[in-house]
Structures are given as structure tokens and as C-alpha cells.
Amino acid sequence: MAKPSNEKNKTPAKRTDKKATTTAPKKKAREDRVYNLYHCGYLEVREWLKETDIILVPLGSCEQHGRHLPVCTDGVATEIPVQRAARLAQVPHTPLIWFGYSPQHLHSAGTGSGTITLRAEIYQNVLYDVARCLIHNGFNKIVFATGHTSNMKVVDPALRALRYETGAFVCVFRNDAEAAPAMMPDILENPPEETPGWHGSEIETSEVLAFNKDLVHLERTDKDFTHAPKWLGKKFTKVNGSPYVIYKGMDVAWVPMDHQEYSDTGLIGNPFRATAEKGELLFQRKAEILAEFLEELKKVKVTVKNRSYDRRTF
């Protein structure tokens, strides 16, 4: 490919026309461009803003994922699809925000779950501040992409404040394991009774295997499934990772349960059908769907009414 291109550049009149001399560098810049905002200089950021008003912000968590998976599992689930989607859709992305809202995963004091969680108010403020800075920079559409389901429980106030105050488009795209089964039923094998896609099960184990197989230790675990907290009594049940408890077949109450109260090992499901090949397919499918979403979002007209982030200190 390079040789024909060079030969073409040497053809008639030494390319003295202005249009010809400006197109080749742009093509080269596109091939070599920097997508991660953390690695950009401000000149690269300004070039991005000439082309798009969208930026991706991946949201992970740092939480226990059973005996066989690392605490970075939810970060892996979204960081790789975001990186790929950015290239497919030609938009920039920020680095992963690696902590999230995971109070249910701390375990009892002194037992060492590895979980690091932010309080809801702090997490909301982090997302708000990140988005406000990006809007101040010139972006109009902020797409957070979460790999951790419970982040969804607390993000709404921050997203609404951003929209009401600035007029910017803000949303959270779901790369988490609970959303995955609807995106890729052809890839997954776990039957419903083995809670496909939930905590540390087929989806997340496959993704970490694809990311780094040395971080997965299936020899440390067995299948494990949910149960209602023992203190609730025998008439109550619980399924999957739902925050509800079930009474007579109905989701009757949202109960603030800790994960170890309804999962004995931190795993919910069967991880033994996981493969690195599935993980690669999961990453790519998520990336393609996210990229399609971004392409549609490019068509949406957004007018920011309040860009300057004046309340940026306290």
C-alpha cells in the first residue's frame, strides 16, 4: 500500500496545488492519531474538536469478583470495547475511571476483599467534574460507558445536573455483564438457570481470559448461585444480581444487601464455559454496537448553553 501511495505523490507538477498538499498529511494523521485524551497534547485535542463533538468516558470499578477473577474485571469489560469503538467511530476517549460505586462488595472490615468504592455523592461529583471539564473544552456529547452495573444506581443526579445546567448530551452506555446477554445471545452458552452474564460468570470470565489469561484462576472456584439472605427467613428468595427480594414470586422490596449475604463466594453463575475466544467476540460485539450508537449520535444536534466551568474550584 505504501509504495503506490509514494509513487502517486511523485506524479505531475510536484503537487503544487493547495488541495493536494493538504489531503495526504490528514490521511497519515488519521492512521497515526492519538485516541486517548490522556496521551494527547492540546493541539491534538483541538484537532479532535474540529472533527467531532463526542467523547467517550469508560467507567469501571475496583471490586471483588469471586475467587477466580481480579478486581479489575469491570474495567476490562468496558475499557477494551471503548478503545475499539473510538477507532471505529473516529472519536476520542478518556482513560478508564477505574473506581466506581460498589459498597456491597467491601466485605467485613479487615477481611481483604480488594474493593475500593466511592460514596455516591463523591462518585456523582467525579462524573460531574469530568464532564464539566470536557464540556468546557468544547465537547457537546459525553458518553460514559460503564462496565459495572451498580454504577447505574447513582449516576442519574449527575447526568441530569449536567443536562439541565449546560444543555449538553450526556448518557451512560452499558458494557456491563447484565446488558451483554441481549447483545450477544449467539455467543453465550450458559442456560438461564446458570445466570448467564452475571457476576464472575461466563461473560466476565471470558473477557478477562481474552485480556490476560494469567489473571484467571478457575481452579479456585466452583459454580455458585444466589440465595436470599439467611436472616430474611425461608419464605424469601432471590435471583441473579437483582436488588429485589422475592416473596410469592414477586419482586416486593428493594433491600440494601451486601454481596456476601446472597453469594457465598462472590461468584454468581457458572464460569466454566468461558473461553478467551468468547471474550474476544464479546469485546468486538460491544465495540461495534457502541460505534453504531456513536454514528447515530453524530447526527443529533446539540447546543450547549453554558460551556464555561466557572465553579471549578469549590
**Residue ranges of domains in the chain:** 34-192+275-297
Q: Which of 112, 128, 111 is nearest to 163 (CA)?
A: 128
Residue-wise pLDDT tens digits, 173-183? 999 999 988 89
* CA–CA separation, 98 and 81 (whole Å): 15
- Among candidates 148, 97, 150, 84, which has minimal Cα distance to 126? 97
Helix (H, G, I), strand (E, B) or coil at 68: coil
Cα–Cα distance list, 260 to 105, 125, 155, 217, 227 (Å): 8, 28, 24, 20, 10
* Per-residue pLDDT tens digits for 183-239: 989 999 999 888 777 899 999 999 999 999 999 999 999 999 999 999 999 899 988
Q: What architecture (CATH level 2) is domain 34-192+275-297?
A: 3-Layer(aba) Sandwich (3.40)
Helix (H) or strand (E) holding 105: none
SS3 category, 271: coil
**241 in helix, strand or coil?**
coil
pLDDT in tens, 118-156: 999 999 999 999 999 999 999 999 999 999 999 999 999
More confident residue, 156 or 15: 156
Contacts of residue 90, defined as CB under 8 A and 6 or more positions apart, other chains included, come to 30, 51, 52
Which residue has cell 471490586? 63
Instruction: Output the pTM of the full model.
Output: 0.88
Chain-centroid distance of CA 92 in Å reads 14
